[in-house]
Amino acid sequence: MNIRITGSGSYIPNKIIPNIDFASHQFLDEEGKPLSYSNEVVTEKFQQITGIEERRYADDNLLTSDIAYFAAEKAIKDSGIDPETLDYIILAHNFGNVKSGTIQTDLVPSLASRVKHSLRIKNPRCVAYDILFGCPGWVEGVIQAMAYIKSGMAKRCLVIGAETLSRVTDPHDRDSMIYSDGAGASIIEATEEEGGILANITASYTYDEAYFLFFGNSYNKEHNPDVRYIKMYGRKIYEFALSNVPKAMKECLEKSGVALSDVKKILIHQANEKMDEAIIQRFYKLHGTTPPDGIMPMSIHKLGNSSVATIPTLYDMLMKGLLPEQALNKGDVVLFASVGAGMNVNAFIYKI
């Protein structure tokens, strides 16, 4: 028995937000003072560091559970399965349903339950639940699905990553330019076909690192102090990721027994292009070599950081041939890796 991704789907919102749209924002520092340089310089430096040229926002009438359903529907169609045969629906997100223009999150019922309802699945043995695991949520959902299947508790699972980060960002914080919306979904099931998930690893670093990403006040001191927005200590996250992600990737690869030279692609969570490039460089340096050209497909330039949706969306785009000069082929070995709020790190090795 091998555990494989047998179908994928994604929902990329239609609303394109280029960097120029932030030109009129009043960016402030943590003390509430205006930045000492123009927005033109802010956005230019931002693009140089993150690689983000534009990002996607969901239409105002759509919720996280809606776009999760859209991606799920595509994954089910791609796999050709009967949705009534699903044993689990695992939905990774971080902020639930946040209606456009509001500040309140809605988590009852769970977003996974809403997706199951929208899919019109009648089977009560199809268990639907959410996981909150930061940006590595979809990867962790796949690992959980694999565990259920290996234990005999399930044969087929739907794992979704969906987020509308645009609705929890502080407009006065330049970090708000990083975030975007989107959804990606995959069918994970037991098959007799060769390949599948070969190894996995997960770690949570909380002793000193738990609050590197957190909910905090707006940098605008005149804003309601009871309203919170997503905040982060960017430098600490950068240093944490460079220290811990390459080691986790190396350990996972060693567990799989696959040679580094056999890895065709690395699909890594994308929040910052320079950080991802540094992670890949350090990972290969641990093996005494340098990364080959094209090893790390990127979608961040046009899609931004959609948190849990980034990796499943990237995988779906590659499988559908939607990224120029990048593709995944039968027999390719792929390393999936992510890092995010918690602070959590995870990875798995997958043979297509």
Q: Enumerate the domain spans of the chain.
A: 2-194, 198-351
Is pLDDT of 103 > 80?
no
Give the pLDDT mean for 192-211: 95
Is pLDDT of 225 > 90?
no
| Residue 37 confidence (pLDDT) | 81
Amino acid at 328: L
Tell me the CATH class for 2-194: alpha beta
DSSP state at residue 342: T
Is pLDDT of 39 > 90?
no
* 46 confidence band (pLDDT: 50, 70, 90): confident
Is pLDDT of 115 > 90?
yes
Domains 2-194 and 198-351 agree in fold: yes
Reply yes or no: is the peptide bond before residue 109 cis, omega within 30 of 0.
Answer: yes
Residue 188: half-sphere exposure toward Cβ, Cα within 13 Å:
28
Question: pLDDT tens digit string along 125-170?
Answer: 999 999 999 999 999 999 999 999 999 999 999 999 999 999 999 8
Of 342, 352, 104, the closest CA to residue 228 belongs to 104
Is pLDDT of 192 > 80?
yes
Q: For the chain, what is the mean pLDDT?
A: 94
Is pLDDT of 10 > 80?
yes
| Residue 220 confidence (pLDDT) | 87
Is pLDDT of 33 > 80?
yes
| Residue 67 confidence (pLDDT) | 98
Q: Do residues 4 and 157 touch, judged by C-beta distance below 8 A?
A: no
Of 330, 16, 305, the closest CA to residue 161 belongs to 305
Q: What percent of the chain has pLDDT over 70?
A: 100
Range 198-351 has CATH code 3.40.47.10: yes
Question: pLDDT tens digit string along 265-279?
Answer: 999 999 889 999 999
Which stretch of 21-35, 140-154, 168-182 has the lowest confidence by average pLDDT? 21-35
114-121 long-range contacts, CB within 8 A, separation 24+: 114/65, 114/69, 115/65, 115/68, 115/69, 115/72, 115/89, 115/91, 115/160, 116/89, 118/65, 118/66, 118/69, 119/69, 119/72, 119/73, 119/76, 119/83, 120/83, 121/83, 121/84, 121/86
| Residue 41 confidence (pLDDT) | 84
* Chain centre to alpha carbon of residue 239: 20
* 25 confidence band (pLDDT: 50, 70, 90): confident
Q: Do residues 295 and 265 touch, judged by C-beta distance below 8 A?
A: yes
* 286 confidence band (pLDDT: 50, 70, 90): very high
Is pLDDT of 48 > 90?
no
pTM beyond 0.85: yes
Of 275, 90, 57, 99, the closest CA to residue 186 belongs to 90
Contacts of 336 by beta carbon, 8 Å cutoff, 6+ apart: 139, 142, 267, 268, 311, 315, 347, 348, 349, 350
Give the pLDDT mean for 74-94: 97
